[in-house]
Structure 1
């Protein structure tokens, strides 16, 4: 791995665009009946959680490697799509944090708008633009649309927005441990969801950055931005794209020291914090600065943050409460 940008910048994750005096939060949503639609069973078992290869950033807290045991549960086979999120919005009238704020973070090569739409750039990561009018409906700015991307992952959704969708859908966000176990697809201790080598059968296995970041993407994997949710091959549990494409929110608060005190059975993360866990990496990940498409990799952001490379998938208990 070549020398990364300082990890303190956390360049894979755009910071919240909300001013310090603006507080965003979950809008009320009526809970829906439990639903397992689109979900696949994840068997009970144990796995080795964390970075066994010594490749993670120290500030991300991927160690110590530890054994975790989980009961059976359910996980969405794909990340939530634009079409699914649109159904939720139509049914509830929900307004996302980005829409309420009126601005969200867009990667500069994807931006579709005028200079007047750019509120500012992130000083330490100028490839992130705070764009007026960017949202899940207009993911690259005011000139963009999702009309031809109904089966792409919804983006520009905050942790609050993901929680609201899960509540309405009768599902929940996965714990970080559930996410990693499911993402591994039965390959305990592997570097990636498909094995230890980035390329398999001389083909790209996920949607990440090729070329020189952040100015030129050769698009060898076929994508500059997001890809449809059922692109590449599913893992051993039937989950699609648990590496690359979009970051996925987890239920847990983030703490880089948590693994040292984690419970070994069904851990759910710290009791409190300032940021929530994100997993899986995105189409912007590249080994020169991020390398977080490894299955053990962690990142985080504030619950009100949203950007053009963050989405989510849902989980569920294996049986209904009291069942």
Structure 2
């Protein structure tokens, strides 16, 4: 089974310089160095259905400030039926659930997929977090290699980085905060990235990880997707600039 703990844990990615990008991966060139002046904390695993249950029970759909902050329409309204929204998400995640059936301890451990970029933004804000910039995602996955955990996911192995962050390439891709650009290099000093909401002409958000049908995966794999688009194979994880008080740090 996937090494998914019952309670979410976060990973500290320490301040420092990280090499990101890959000359051999389309849209991931050039390879360059990214410096983080301060540490950040990131979910070890993609957000799960357990986290979604917390969001729904805490009235996340009714907190309009979360959605407006995320960039949703100013006249955004709470769905007529939150239950219907939940059922729709469950139905849309059917293909992923079938692939992972019996492969995790509980259904609530399954990765949450099917949210738009805007919904993922609002979700993160509910937890006083944000979506990771793609440079942060890649730094957190430094040194990631396939583990021996192969059979539980049929043909999909779990990849684990040197900080113990885990992803499921070939099964799940993940939203990031960035606007997508075919050139990965940005002369942006110590900035973490280029947020979609502040991107002039770009209309796509960057996704990391990889969906089914992807070959030749590396942690530098990246694509652009419409922020309004949803996919049963697209999830996300949260980032905090300060250690969240209610979540344990992996390894401590």
Task: Please state how far the C-alpha of 1:162 moved relative to its aligned partner.
Answer: 0.7
Q: Deviations over 1:23-54 (max 9, x none)?
A: xxxxxxxxxxxxxx6212111111211114x1
> Gaps (5+ residues) in structure 2?
1-7, 73-77, 80-85, 245-252
Cα distance in 2 for residues equivalent to 1:252 and 1:152: 25
Change (3 A) 1:234 1:65: closer
For residue 252 of structure 1, give the secondary structure of its aligned residue in structure 2: strand
1:90 matched residue in structure 2: 57
Please list the CA deviations of residues 139-195 of structure 1 after superposition, one character each: whole Å capped at 9, or x if unmatched. 356xx89996210101111111111111111111111111110011xx3xxxxx12x
Count of aligned positions: 207
More helix by share: 2
1:275 aligns with 2:204: yes
State yes or no: 1:136 paired with 2:89: yes
Separation (CA, whole Å) in 1 of partners of 2:180 and 2:41: 23
Q: Give the equivalent residue in structure 2 for 1:163.
A: 121
Q: Output the TM-score relative to the length of structure 2.
A: 0.70
Distance verdict in 2 for CA 1:248–1:160, change over 3 Å:
same
| Partner Cα distance (1:158, 1:46) in 2 | 31
CA RMSD of aligned residues (A): 3.4
Does 1:294 find its partner at 2:213? no
Counterpart-to-counterpart distance in 2, 1:306 and 1:204: 28
Unmatched 5+ residue regions in structure 1? 1-36, 101-132, 188-192, 206-220
Q: Does residue 256 of the first structure (1) align with residue 182 of the second (2)?
A: yes
Write the mapping of 1:1-323 to structure 2, written as runs, cut at 5 A: 38-52=9-23, 54=24, 56-57=25-26, 61-70=27-36, 71-92=38-59, 94=61, 135-140=88-93, 149-184=107-142, 187=143, 193-194=144-145, 203=148, 221-223=151-153, 232=158, 234-241=160-167, 243-259=169-185, 261-269=186-194, 271-272=198-199, 273-282=202-211, 284-287=212-215, 291=216, 293-318=217-242
Shift of 1:232: 4.0
Match of 2:248 in 1: none
The separation in 2 between residues aligned to 1:233 and 1:268, in whole angstroms, is 24
Go from structure 1 to structure 2 and tell me whether the alpha carbon gap of 1:299 and 1:274 turns closer, same or farther (over 3 Å shift).
same
Question: Is contact 1:135-1:156 (8 Å) kept?
Answer: no
Alignment CA distance shift 1:242-1:317 (3 Å): farther
User: Which one has the largest radius of gyration?
Assistant: 1
Counterparts of 1:156 and 1:307, CA distance in 2: 5
TM-score, normalised to structure 1, is 0.56
